[in-house]
Structure 1
């Protein structure tokens, strides 16, 4: 289970322009060659791929001054310090990667006082006002396992020291209470990174017909009123969910959320809103699907009408920090649902929730005397039907609940189904 990054292709001319802009900016993007192989660090402009992970860069334990972003370029790992606090620049950075605390102890980089950043493998000092700096860790020096740890330290121009780690907002600034703490007397922290965050895989597709069973209107069974996909990464300390809103063929507006049992979850980041009822967390991902996927064409739909321009997919990443009490079901890691607003605008007028039938065993509608689920689960990537094309046309194995509902119907598309379904590859 992995994330889905965006690939970038650059021409020679674009690289020259980017380099010229860098010389005019106080923000440097630099590349450090490993001190294990050379004593002279090389410096050049780096056009960065999208970050697969971002953690807080925290000074004085409670003041977030920026972020530490991690990306991959081939087998190399790129770690970027980005300062966002006004008037603050980098004086020194120290960085290391490791697979266990014992490894750091053996290399004399960890003592009873905590981590010793001066002994970290990757380091650089600055004489000018640098606010952004990238360390390139060569593939040969990246641990040969999926998940490993990164220690990122910075000395700042205001005299403070900063560490990169998972943080949570509090009334007194940010907290590193849920970050991985180095043992010892100082407050040094580190974070876990998994290479699988940076590769492409869709684990789940969720698709809805958004008219409920009490409405006088009827669904057309094209299951493209809303299509959301997800990629799930589970580590011992985190559940990372990358959501991709890909299609919206509805006049109604929706709020896309999921619920998950509270037990074993210590904090949640990346969501605009989190509530709970004492048993479940209710986590909002997209506050308005119309805002996330603004429509084109006469109907105002997104990625459901053949021949209309592609609407860029909307993406959000939700990170749940977890402990040993967290219970994980890889086939149903959470319960997705939409809150439907028939008014066409979120938070205007009445609303109702629609869950995924295979996950939550609820929310159906009736057409022609037969009962169908409002929300369906596809445990893979999926080509959804075009606007007003019944799902039975390209996928004749799809059956109503009344007729027994055939699980796995999406694995047997009919010959020629491509002509009646949307190819999202044309939007990439």
Structure 2
């Protein structure tokens, strides 16, 4: 086979065979195929698309390009959860201990954030002493004993995807559904899960800006999962405004504890209940979503998963006292109110702008090597639909610098205040099974 012939084949709109895709992925990962040829192929895929069979072959080929995690020593149905990302998205911190409480093994590998705020691993590292690295034996023992362990992603997990994504980023081929779907699913397949719940975010703070695009991505990923023998469910959830009221690493841990205690933000709680209920359904704890939803709701109302959260933190070296004393988490030096400039109702919040504001405070990274300040962040005092008066606080900034005018300006630009009260946004737009 020659790469130039395969580029021509895809450019002409023909489907690539499994062995041709394997040739491309293996050759590029090993350095035998140069960037300029892979760039040409990615652009051909961008314009010509891929069949469902091609996408499945691409996913499996990328999953096989590096380490494959063997979770066969872990008892039960291993259910993973993945979010396509958004502002204030701390759902994993909430649903993982709930699933573990229900007896569902959660053997999760998570990443760090790049951009708005930290990823799940960054949030967990805001807990003093928490270890994100466990040996394979420790990882398996933790899940078999406590039903939960969350660690950083292996450096050699789907290396083809890592290399291809870096190329997509500089060749304007990031927003291709086949490439997005295979990128996400290759890491999930390589991570060894039996079943997967996908939380596909839609809105101003998400990669997919419309319900239609989010639905196509969700359907594509569910199709991949099914074709590769993984029971997969995708939810399309709202990211027109940040999820919950806290953005920032330690802040989001605090808010997750509030939700697990039954005193958290309503919207965040509702989305978390549904995600955890679908995990329980795939984990075969309940036979219907309605039964699972009712059970998870009761677990949250009664705070039953808090002990599981404590055990999880302690088992990975963290201080479990933060569950009852969240003030032990890192706290910023300054707390600055952002005041509304007019009366009315919050009509819109540009979630992406809020995320950028949090990053400027130090809660996220502009570049991979940037440090994260676990203590800084933003508390949303007003969300879409809330009445507001001029001079009233719409946000509280938690900062370690006093001059935050650049952040205040971004916040004011992100909030749209109008006379009419808006129709409440949907939290969950669709579920693909």
TM range (shorter): under 0.3
Output the TM-score relative to the length of structure 1.
0.24
TM-score of the two chains, using structure 2 as the length reference? 0.24
Specify which structure has the bigger relative contact order, considering alpha-carbon pairs within 8 angstroms and separated by 6 or more residues: 2
The structure with the largest alpha-carbon Rg is 1
**Structure with the larger helix share:** 2
